[in-house]
A and B are shown apart, each in its own frame.
Chain A
């Protein structure tokens, strides 16, 4: 085992950055750990921002990943509200906006991503973003959401539950097109419509003006609040400035290393060589952030293994608890099980005979079992899934998973 360096600097204090520090200490790292964040808050969970936090069901303390005293107790220095300005690879230091310099043995870039913005709209990425949106929802509002991805739709659901008038505008012909099958898209949109959310698919926004959104066909939607959920751009400028390879993210190998062997990139900002899909991919999810953080911590500790985590995702919208195991992108065939009309079903996604992933709506057990199956490299054939009465639990208990 190679000797671990004596100091790790983590750039970014989100899910990925916070987890690197935690995993390093859990794995027995004894050197110094400094986590540098741009936001003024200790690492916190972002998913509840568009769910419980937006709805006022939890507060900032409820979002924090660790108890306040955790970092001091574990000798982890958190430097908040002071983003890194420059990485100086030759000198092995990072320079913060305040001018402070930090020497690193290993550097982990967990810089995250920044929402694409449209003038006249608000975004949802941080606590501060969410507070700004919440403040505008105090009275009855006409809300327009641009973008029917996870963030836009989760926000739309909460805003509607609070009684606001909500319209979602999506340029593509279906919702969450990047992430889920057409079947699930349609189901989720129908659930929104049932609650009174208007969802305009295949609809371009021409302009956002004060108090209104104008659509390409000339329709004007009056709006007290316009929220955009139109994707994010990975934060790769620091890496590019340091001469590291970037291209829709910071480019890393299967060990999550950049061109510089002592600099890693993880989470939303990292475009990594995937052992699962082949080629380089970039994922925006808690799973990806957490698992990559743990993988890099092990590398720093001297037991480097390629990153192999199985992607999984979830979303909550109205009565829909959507959970996805695996990457369903590229499927050519689906089999739906369960009770779609009753709002509880799973969509098994195949390429040829190979199971790529499973989407579950209000079927968490299917989701967990699918994760276990896919993580172990197992599969199940479309014909088996399509047989009447198929149940994943019964099937796996039959010991067929290894087939």
Chain B
């Protein structure tokens, strides 16, 4: 279990308990966090669960694979150095306290 914080562009933040093994995307979907669309359901196939990982993050996150990298080039909001697909970040105790920023748009 880890606490994940999702911050919207207007500054609203939601803190959610996410189960081990669930992704940062699924944590948002199950708890109705707005702005994470995740059309493909979590297969790194659509790029609509884009998040910006907080700049101050020091927690170890999963390695980015080629497909995620490719998809991040065609997200609706611009790709930045801290862009990730939230379906590709599995949750464990190691990422407890992670903060992600939800982009302006996903589609």
Contact = CB atoms under 8 A, between A and B. Distances in A.
Given A314-B40, A321-B43, A364 B31 contact: no
8 contacts: A66-B32, A67-B31, A314-B45, A364-B45, A364-B70, A368-B46, A369-B74, A393-B73
Contacts of B40: 314
Contacts of A316: 43
Interface of chain A, main secondary structure: helix
A365 B30 contact: no
B74 A393 contact: yes
B74 A368 contact: yes
Interface string B18-41: 000000000000111000000111
Interface centre among B39, B45, B73 (most CB of A within 10 A): B45
A161 B22 CA distance: 24
A47 interface: yes
Instruction: Bin the interface of chain B by size.
Output: 10 to 19
The 7 A-B residue pairs with the shortest CB-CB distance in the complex, in nearest-first order: A365-B70, A67-B30, A368-B74, A365-B74, A364-B45, A369-B74, A364-B71
Contacts of B31: 67
Given A314-B45, A365-B74, 19 more contacts: A45-B41, A67-B30, A67-B31, A67-B32, A287-B39, A316-B43, A321-B43, A323-B45, A364-B46, A364-B47, A364-B67, A365-B47, A365-B70, A365-B73, A367-B45, A367-B46, A368-B74, A393-B73, A393-B74
Interface of B: 30-32, 39-41, 43-47, 67, 70-71, 73-74, 76
Contacts of B46: 364, 367-368
A369 B73 CA distance: 10
A390 interface: no
A395 interface: no
A368 B71 contact: yes
Interface residues of A, number: 20
Interface of A: 45, 47-48, 66-67, 70, 287, 314, 316, 321, 323, 362-365, 367-369, 372, 393
A347 to B, nearest CB: 17
A140 B36 CA distance: 41
A48 B42 CA distance: 10
Contacts of A365: 47, 70-71, 73-74
Given A48-B41, A314-B40, A368 B30 contact: no
B73 A364 contact: no
A372 B80 CA distance: 20
B45 A70 contact: no
A368 B76 CA distance: 10
Contacts of A364: 44-47, 67, 70-71
A321 B41 contact: no
A226 B76 CA distance: 44
Nearest to A64: B30
Contacts of A70: 32
A52 to B, nearest CB: 9
A369 to B, nearest CB: 5
Nearest to A74: B32
A363 B30 CA distance: 28
Nearest to A322: B45
B76 to A, nearest CB: 8
A309 to B, nearest CB: 11
Contacts of A314: 40, 43, 45
Contacts of B74: 365, 368-369, 372, 393
